[in-house]
């Protein structure tokens, strides 16, 4: 099983807003949905999925274990609670959301528990998020690279995270880009706007297509049906080598997500 190239993110969306976003996305043809325990919207995501009428085997549902549930005796019960909220008996992908603050729970402990969840059939694939090279090495030592489906990281034209990407890919670990549009910052970039004009596309479509063309998965979110529909068209957009090179040159190490309580020492 591979991680779908394109899906819907639900970060910061709650209540009826997330229900409408997921409902519209599924109606438009989205089939991969990304949520997390800390988003506090799993129940609403589950409701939207249940009411959509889309068969479970057509969907790819991802959630993430929060740091307070990393201890061996807590991880699987917390995942089972997530499954109840999402109204399913399994996830397609379960990620460790952030590294354990101050290494309070060792990587080997929570990765071991996550592998056990996979062996129990609670999740089909497991992976990590916001992991540095050093942390990926620890995770690989614990469960083997073959059991780490992806590392979901902040990655956009202004933060291309090449060291982490290169190491992950050398180990056969897929990259999922979150915040691909950099909270909308890159949509105003003159280089990206010019590429969009040349391709008769939007800046968002260009940015999402750029990431997918590099082999990454993307999970953009939106509360507007028109934007959800427009973003989906990125899947059929092909950028030229020159377009790709111009976007590659925009990298400036501009990190937007760096919560002091959980952020590691970045590469």
Q: Which residue has the tokens 């949520």?
A: 35
The pLDDT averaged over each successive group of 10 residues in the chain (267 residues) is 94 98 98 98 98 98 98 98 98 98 97 98 98 98 98 98 98 98 98 98 98 98 98 98 98 97 96
- Give yes or no: 183 in active site: no
Domains in the chain with CATH codes: 8-248 (3.20.20.100)
Please give the pLDDT value at position 7: 98
Query: 60-65 and 91-96: which strand pairing?
Result: parallel
Active-site residue identified among 39, 158, 178, 216: 39
Please give the pLDDT value at position 191: 98
pLDDT digits (tens, 9 = 90+) for 243-258: 999 999 999 999 999 9
DSSP SS3 for 231:
helix
Which residues 6+ apart lie within 8 Å of 193 measured at CB? 187, 203
Please give the pLDDT value at position 1: 66
Which residues 6+ apart lie within 8 Å of 60 measured at CB? 3, 4, 7, 31, 32, 33, 92, 93
Q: Which residue has the tokens 């092909």?
A: 238
- 3-state per-residue secondary structure call for 143-203: HCHHHCCEEEEECECCECCHHHHHHHHHCCCEEEEECCCHHHHHHHCHHHHHHHHHCCCCH
pTM beyond 0.85: the answer is: yes
Spatial CA neighbour of 110 closest among 65, 171, 176, 145: 65
């Amino acid at each position: 099983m591979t991680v779908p190239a394109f899906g819907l993110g639900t970060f910061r969306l709650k209540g009826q807003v997330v229900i409408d976003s997921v409902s519209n996305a599924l109606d438009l043809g989205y089939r991969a949905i990304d949520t997390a325990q800390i988003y506090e919207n799993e129940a609403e995501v589950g409701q939207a999925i249940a009411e959509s009428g889309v068969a479970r085997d057509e969907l790819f549902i991802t959630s993430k274990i929060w740091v307070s549930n990393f201890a061996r005796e807590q991880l699987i019960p917390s995942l089972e609670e997530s499954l109840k909220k999402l109204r399913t008996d399994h996830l397609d992908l379960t990620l460790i959301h952030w590294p354990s603050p101050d290494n309070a729970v060792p990587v080997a402990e929570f990765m071991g528990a996550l592998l056990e969840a996979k062996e129990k059939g609670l999740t089909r694939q497991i992976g990590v998020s916001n992991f540095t090279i050093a942390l990926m090495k620890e995770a690989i030592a614990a469960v083997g690279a073959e059991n780490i489906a992806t590392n979901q990281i902040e990655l956009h034209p202004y933060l291309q995270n090449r060291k982490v990407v290169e190491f992950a890919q050398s180990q056969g670990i897929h990259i999922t880009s979150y915040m691909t549009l950099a909270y909308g910052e890159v949509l105003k970039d003159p280089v990206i706007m010019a590429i969009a004009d040349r391709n008769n596309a939007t800046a968002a479509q260009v940015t999402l297509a750029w990431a997918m063309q590099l082999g990454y998965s993307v999970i953009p979110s939106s509360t507007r049906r028109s934007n959800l529909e427009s973003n989906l068209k990125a899947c059929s957009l092909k950028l030229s080598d020159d377009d790709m090179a111009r976007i590659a040159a925009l990298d400036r190490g501009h990190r937007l997500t760096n919560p002091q309580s959980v952020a590691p020492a970045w590469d």
